Amino acid sequence: MDGFHLSDRVLADFGRADRKGAPDTFDADGFVTLLERITACGDRPVYCPDFDHVMGEPIAARLVVAPTARVIVVEGNYLALDNPPWSAVRPLLRRLYYIDAPGPLRRERLLRRHRAAGKGLADAAAWVDSVDEPNARLVAASRHRADLVVDGQANHTED
């Protein structure tokens, strides 16, 4: 799903760069179309975008779903949202798992990711508090649409 982040340039044009990662900062319709293509194109490869967390930008056609693939795993925060356009995702998934990561563990991982991408500790913490945590609350509100809730603390090892 991260390959469907809108580019930094588009986010700046829309005045949403300070909320990157919120549901409206993705091409959700494009993501839905990709899932539909994967389902329909059984005899051809399907090219998918990826996301480079160091660059902070999506990379077009960096991933390939081979026509021989039998199990496709997609991940993302907004797969269970029930408001359009995200609501079109859930019916395209056979199974949906919600990883219930404890808040402190989630925060630690997010801080580490933002620091690895070049943010200082104060900027990373401010981003987690103002952007990531509100998004996490939104995602948590959709967990009831999952087929299974998995304990994100179980079998925790360092990344």
pLDDT the model gives residue 153: 80
Q: What average pLDDT does this structure show over 126-150?
A: 96
Task: Tell me the residue range of the domain where 131 lies.
Answer: 96-159
Check which CATH number belongs to the domain holding 14 and give it: 3.40.50.300
Cβ neighbours for 14, distance < 8 A, ≥ 6 positions apart: 6
User: In this structure, are 83 and 104 located in the same domain?
Assistant: no
Share of the chain above pLDDT 90, in %: 86
| Confidence band for 55, pLDDT divided at 50, 70 and 90 | confident
User: In this structure, are 113 and 45 located in the same domain?
Assistant: no
User: In this structure, are 86 and 10 located in the same domain?
Assistant: yes
Q: What average pLDDT does this structure show over 29-41?
A: 94
pLDDT the model gives residue 155: 56
pLDDT the model gives residue 15: 97
User: In this structure, are 23 and 70 located in the same domain?
Assistant: yes
The amino acid at 21? G
Q: What average pLDDT does this structure show over 50-74?
A: 92
Q: Taking 90 as the threshold, does the pLDDT of residue 134 lie above it?
A: yes
Domain count, the chain: 2
Q: Taking 80 as the threshold, does the pLDDT of residue 49 lie above it?
A: yes
Q: Which three-class secondary structure state does DSSP give residue 25?
A: helix
pLDDT the model gives residue 152: 84
User: In this structure, are 17 and 88 located in the same domain?
Assistant: yes
pLDDT the model gives residue 80: 97
User: In this structure, are 55 and 118 located in the same domain?
Assistant: no
User: In this structure, are 107 and 77 located in the same domain?
Assistant: no
Look at residues 102, 50, 55, 54 and name the one whose alpha carbon lies nearest to residue 76.
Answer: 50
Q: Which of 94, 126, 146 is the last residue of a domain?
A: 94
Q: 3-18 pLDDT, tens per residue?
A: 999 999 999 999 999 9
Q: Which of 94, 126, 150 is the last residue of a domain?
A: 94
Give me the phi and psi of 51, to 5 degrees please. -130, 130
User: In this structure, are 55 and 115 located in the same domain?
Assistant: no
Which residues pair with residue 59 across a beta bridge?
A: 50
User: In this structure, are 87 and 21 located in the same domain?
Assistant: yes
User: In this structure, are 86 and 100 located in the same domain?
Assistant: no
User: In this structure, are 37 and 105 located in the same domain?
Assistant: no
Q: 87-108 pLDDT, tens per residue?
A: 999 999 999 999 999 999 999 9
Q: What average pLDDT does this structure show over 66-82?
A: 94
Q: Which of 43, 63, 94 is the last residue of a domain?
A: 94
